């Protein structure tokens, strides 16, 4: 008769949310409530020799720290385990099991380190611990690689072998394929575990699917955390799992004790640092990729979601789950550098603009706080007004320059209702029809700049060869670290440190100095670029 056991990893996996700083009282409270719930296993934290012992954190250099945190507490009916990320805790810091509070140790490792990690686990097993083999990023394994790992695991003969869906990519068909393959090849006395993440909102559902679909005598081990606490989209909520197993498997977990722990401790953390399903983690999961790729592209604040998905679709092989910033930057530039023949559009726009004063409006707040300056300039010079990546109120804009796909998508409806000619770079795609003028994105870049596609610089470079009389700038306030918003629209905000903001401002000045200007460029409103 198979047994299905429940493991709580709040104090370990939940610690990614708050850098494991639960506070000493909360660590004790969580542990004691979980013991009272009679959950089968409690994972009490990480052992990591790069960290110093801190009584307020559930991450310690080795087993001695775990004893200091938990050694005086009653474990009740629960078994206690810790976790090691292979390569971060020297074996010398692991005391024999008989001298510690822990019954077992779980070891996570990447596919490339499977042989070394299994050898390390043999040393841990020799110290008397129940060993839990945790294959992270299970979706990175093909059947041949998984068979190779299982051969090593069978030789190790650990207490449990777990499928870890690190990035929450699995749907039930994929999950059951990995389970059935492992179940077929794994020694029958080794428990099979599953650790889910909630990127697709499937963590709980997948756990239920595994419990209901698994057949035979294989013992199962299912992971969860209180309120789903965990990095990225979070984990399977253990209170839901316990409630389900009580109802369907005749278990006797005390769910009220879990709810008390959530109410007293977890909710305070959640309100300060929320976790759970969100757009970023859905996009990363739907593209089977590391979430940092999505973060990197979204932080550009230049790409529509369709553009981001297009770039992520170009990720290949193991690079998809092994984040590489240089790699994603190259794909971003490649995507943006869609070429076009802009000869005709250049000639047509030049006919309109040549010989005129041009006023460029940026999205900085000074186009309103210093509007008197702008109005005076307009009254004296009667310029053709071109706004950049937005349509301002209270100004008679004739043209809009669009180089940012995200901002275009956000304002597409508003733009369609205005009598404004659209000048776009080739990286921006119109939903219907065509832009009035399209220019090659790559020709306007400053490849040496910190922000290679600064729209002000791009447009000045374009106007520089159009025989315009003068270019005036308003609303190009520059970047600064401030408690107050810099932009007229909060959705346009960037987050920079003070040092980086100053560096970018200096870099914009440098980009301007490299342009051999054929016309005067003046600032109408104050700017940190001056």
pLDDT in tens, 209-224: 999 988 788 999 999 9
Please give the Cα distance from 229 to 224 (Å, whole number): 9
> pLDDT class for 493, splitting at 50, 70, 90?
very low
Largest CA distance in the chain: 90
- The model's pTM is 0.69
Distance between CA 420 and CA 127 in Å, rounded? Answer: 75
Q: Average model confidence (pLDDT) for the chain?
A: 91
For residues 44 and 35, the answer to whether their CB atoms sit within 8 Å is no
Helix, strand or coil, per DSSP, at residue 314: coil
pLDDT tens for each residue of 100-156: 999 999 999 999 999 999 999 999 999 999 999 999 999 999 999 999 999 999 999
Those residues with Cβ within 8 angstroms of residue 5's Cβ, 6 or more apart along the chain or in another chain: 40, 41, 191, 219, 220, 221, 222
Contact by Cβ (8 Å): 11, 53: no
> In 71-201, which ranges are continuous DSSP H helix?
114-126, 143-156, 172-185
Rounded CA separation 198/202 (Å)? 6
Residue 372 burial by CB count (10 A; 0-12/13-18/19+): exposed, middle or buried? exposed
Q: How far apart are CA 398 and CA 214, in angstroms?
A: 66
Q: Which fold has domain 4-272?
A: TIM Barrel (3.20.20)
pLDDT value of residue 491: 46
Full 3-state SS string of 203-248:
HHHHHHHHHHHCCCCCCEEEEEEHHHCCCCCCECEHHHHHHHHHHH
Residue 474: CB atoms within 10 A of its CB come to: 28
357 forms beta bridges with 470
pLDDT in tens, 480-492: 765 444 544 444 4
- List own/partner pairs for 320-326 with CB under 8 A and 24 or more apart: 320/287, 320/288, 320/289, 320/290, 321/137, 321/139, 321/140, 321/166, 321/167, 321/288, 321/289, 321/290, 322/290, 323/290, 323/292, 323/293, 325/296
- Band the pLDDT of 393: cuts 50, 70, 90: confident
How distant, in Å, are the alpha carbons of 38, 178, 211, 249 from that of 163? 24, 8, 14, 22
- pLDDT tens digits, one per residue of 221-252: 999 999 999 987 999 999 999 999 999 999 99
Helix (H) or strand (E) holding 523: strand 521-523
Beta strands in 41-136 (DSSP E): 41-47, 59-60, 79-85, 104-109, 130-135
């Amino acid at each position: 008769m198979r047994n299905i056991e429940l493991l709580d990893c709040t104090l370990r996996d939940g610690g990614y949310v708050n850098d494991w700083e639960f506070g000493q009282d909360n660590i004790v409270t969580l542990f004691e409530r979980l013991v009272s719930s009679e959950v089968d296993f409690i994972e009490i934290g990480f052992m990591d020799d790069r960290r110093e012992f801190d009584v307020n954190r559930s991450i310690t250099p080795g087993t001695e720290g775990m004893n200091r945190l938990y050694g005086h507490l009653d474990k009740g009916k629960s078994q206690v385990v810790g976790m090691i990320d292979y390569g971060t805790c020297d074996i010398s810091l692991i005391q024999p099991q008989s001298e510690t509070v822990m019954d077992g140790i779980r070891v996570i490792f990447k596919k490339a380190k499977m042989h070394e990690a299994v050898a390390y686990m043999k040393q841990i097993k020799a110290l008397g611990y129940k060993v839990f083999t945790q294959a992270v990023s299970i979706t990175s394994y093909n059947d041949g690689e998984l068979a190779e790992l299982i051969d090593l695991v069978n030789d190790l003969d650990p207490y449990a072998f777990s499928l870890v869906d690190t990035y929450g990519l699995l749907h039930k068909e994929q999950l059951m394929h990995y389970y059935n393959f492992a179940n077929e090849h794994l020694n029958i006395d080794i428990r099979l575990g599953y650790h889910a993440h909630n990127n697709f909102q499937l963590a709980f559902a997948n756990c239920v699917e595994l419990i209901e679909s698994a057949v035979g005598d294989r013992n199962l081990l299912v992971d969860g955390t209180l309120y789903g606490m965990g990095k990225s989209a979070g984990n399977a909520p253990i209170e839901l799992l316990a409630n389900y197993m009580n109802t369907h498997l005749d278990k006797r977990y005390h769910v009220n004790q879990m709810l008390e722990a959530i109410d007293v401790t977890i909710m305070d953390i959640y309100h300060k640092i929320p976790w759970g399903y969100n757009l970023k983690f859905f996009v990363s999961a739907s593209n089977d990729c590391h979430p940092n790729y999505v973060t990197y592209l979204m932080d550009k604040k230049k790409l529509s979601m369709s553009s981001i998905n297009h770039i992520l679709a170009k990720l290949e092989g193991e690079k998809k789950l092994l984040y590489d910033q240089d790699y994603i930057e190259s794909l971003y530039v490649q995507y943006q550098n869609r070429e076009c023949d802009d000869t005709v559009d250049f000639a047509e726009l030049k006919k309109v603009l040549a010989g005129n004063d041009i006023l460029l409006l940026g999205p900085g707040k000074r186009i309103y706080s210093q509007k008197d300056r702008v109005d005076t300039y307009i009254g004296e010079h009667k310029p053709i007004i071109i706004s950049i990546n937005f349509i301002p109120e209270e100004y008679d804009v004739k043209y809009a320059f669009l180089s940012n796909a995200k901002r275009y998508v956000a304002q597409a409806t508003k733009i369609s209702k205005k009598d404004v000619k659209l000048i776009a770079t080739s990286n921006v795609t119109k939903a219907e029809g065509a832009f009035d003028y399209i220019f090659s994105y790559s020709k306007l870049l400053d490849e040496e700049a910190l922000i290679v596609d600064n729209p002000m610089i791009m447009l000045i470079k374009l106007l520089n060869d159009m025989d315009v009389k003068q270019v005036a700038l308003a609303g190009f306030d520059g970047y600064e670290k401030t408690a107050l918003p810099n932009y007229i629209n909060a959705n346009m905000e960037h987050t920079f440190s003070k040092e980086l903001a100053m560096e970018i401002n200096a870099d914009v000045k440098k980009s301007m100095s490299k342009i051999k200007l054929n016309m005067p460029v003046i600032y109408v409103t104050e700017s940190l670029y001056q």
